[in-house]
Chain A
């Protein structure tokens, strides 16, 4: 067991070796780099689905606007005050910082959890792309959660195969193509909304614009079987849509290149384009097709062939880097496998998942679950970085003691998820679960580390700490 752990640790360390050292001063990036990155990354295929779902959930226009303004602001502030400060102080990725705090075993578990969640996300994006192809070849979107036609299965598997092969062979070229696509996809969202005006009965002089949006788009009436959402649902969702990245700290990888913590404010360019304008636009498009949740149909009806192409490339260009990251994350638990083999296996699993429309018809719940599962790790790192030094607890116990996995971190991760599950069973909506969960994780981890530290101090007369570890 110890040998297996040691081998796994070596394997992971080799994989992330290139980013082991803190980023140096000469490698820091200018502000426009972050603005461009955020603006490009947050206009994805999933935006076609999320904004449309808000309409189906009977949100009113004022609730939507206030909720998105507040929720996206909270997301920007989370990047600015939680993620960026830790990243710019340590200049490390979450992987290496978590390794010091919780041990290599914890980073392995984190990687696998991340990979599985990424597979589902990539599968949802492939499903969204498939709705555009299906429209062209006359294959309808399955009615329920499962595939109901051979045509749908063939389309999703074919797109999945292309995405997987490109992730294996052409990631560099594809990332170049993605950067070309991003501005156009964003324009396609706005164009789709504007082109839907006549279908909704909005007059050319826009004199009835507000009335129509209020009565035919965000009219406050949920579709059958959909729960009604209010302003707090929208605000909470906008905040948690990227929970794993800001509060969960995985964007430390990005902000370690920032000159200072204020660069977190550049996330504004992603939130108020993709998670504000694009969500509003997809809401208008779904209302124009009688609330039929079919991204391909929505975009095709609004923009013709260009619309179907927009859905296809939005899914394709965002599924590909996701697949690439799955391959990277899973490499840590597939000893001696080359990257292509890992990506092939992950791509096959993702392609099979993409056959099930469940993953995009339940996208909002999945996004909430995704953030929730990874959030405790962010709380552990936050507590270790900001709270424990003020309580006089020695940092990086796992590294000092050579632990494979920190018991406190493992207890906190499992305990937090158990608490969230309990709250969910008691009726707390999934969008709100992470807030008590995060506070609980902060308190529990701090308490456990203080208790452990006191216990270790009482034994210090017998065995002193093995080595000194300092923050870079």
Chain B
């Protein structure tokens, strides 16, 4: 699960970067890019919080 959360957070972060690039390149319009960015942001925080939480509790068990 931790690995999935880690991959999901990195992909979400990548989506946060790609969305404005697509907008600046004229591939998407402003509302679409802002919606993608918002969804990617929510996904990042869910995945990264889960990832960070799991990493910490795993660290606590081995400490």
A residues within 8 Å of B by Cβ?
176-177, 179-180, 183-184, 187-188, 190-192, 194-195, 197-198, 202, 204, 302-306, 309
Contact = CB atoms under 8 A, between A and B. Distances in A.
A180 B45 contact: yes
A204 B26 contact: yes
A3 to B, nearest CB: 44
Nearest to A300: B34
B37 A304 contact: yes
Nearest to A313: B45
A192 B19 CA distance: 11
Q: Is the interface of A mostly helix, strand, loop or mixed?
A: helix
Residue among A179, A187, A188 with most chain B CB within 10 A: A187
B34 A304 contact: yes
A195 B23 contact: yes
Interface residues of B, number: 24
Contact of A198 (B24, B34, B37): B24
A180 B37 contact: no
B45 A184 contact: yes
A309 B34 CA distance: 12
Residue among A184, A190, A202, A305 with most chain B CB within 10 A: A184
Contacts of B49: 177, 180
Interface of B: 13, 16-17, 19-21, 23-26, 30, 33-35, 37-38, 41, 44-45, 48-49, 52-53, 56
Contact of B52 (A179, A187, A306): A179
A307 to B, nearest CB: 8
A86 to B, nearest CB: 31
A187 B17 contact: yes
B22 to A, nearest CB: 10
A180 B48 contact: yes
Given A187-B16, A191-B19, A191-B20, A309 B25 contact: no
B16 A191 contact: yes
Contacts of B16: 184, 187-188, 191, 306
B25 A204 contact: yes
A185 B25 CA distance: 22
A104 B33 CA distance: 57
B7 to A, nearest CB: 15
Contacts of B26: 198, 204
Residue among B37, B44, B45, B48 with most chain A CB within 10 A: B37
A302 B34 CA distance: 9
B24 A303 contact: no
Nearest to A197: B24
Given A179-B52, A187-B13, 15 more contacts: A176-B52, A180-B52, A183-B13, A190-B17, A191-B17, A194-B20, A194-B23, A194-B24, A195-B24, A197-B24, A303-B20, A304-B34, A305-B38, A306-B34, A306-B41
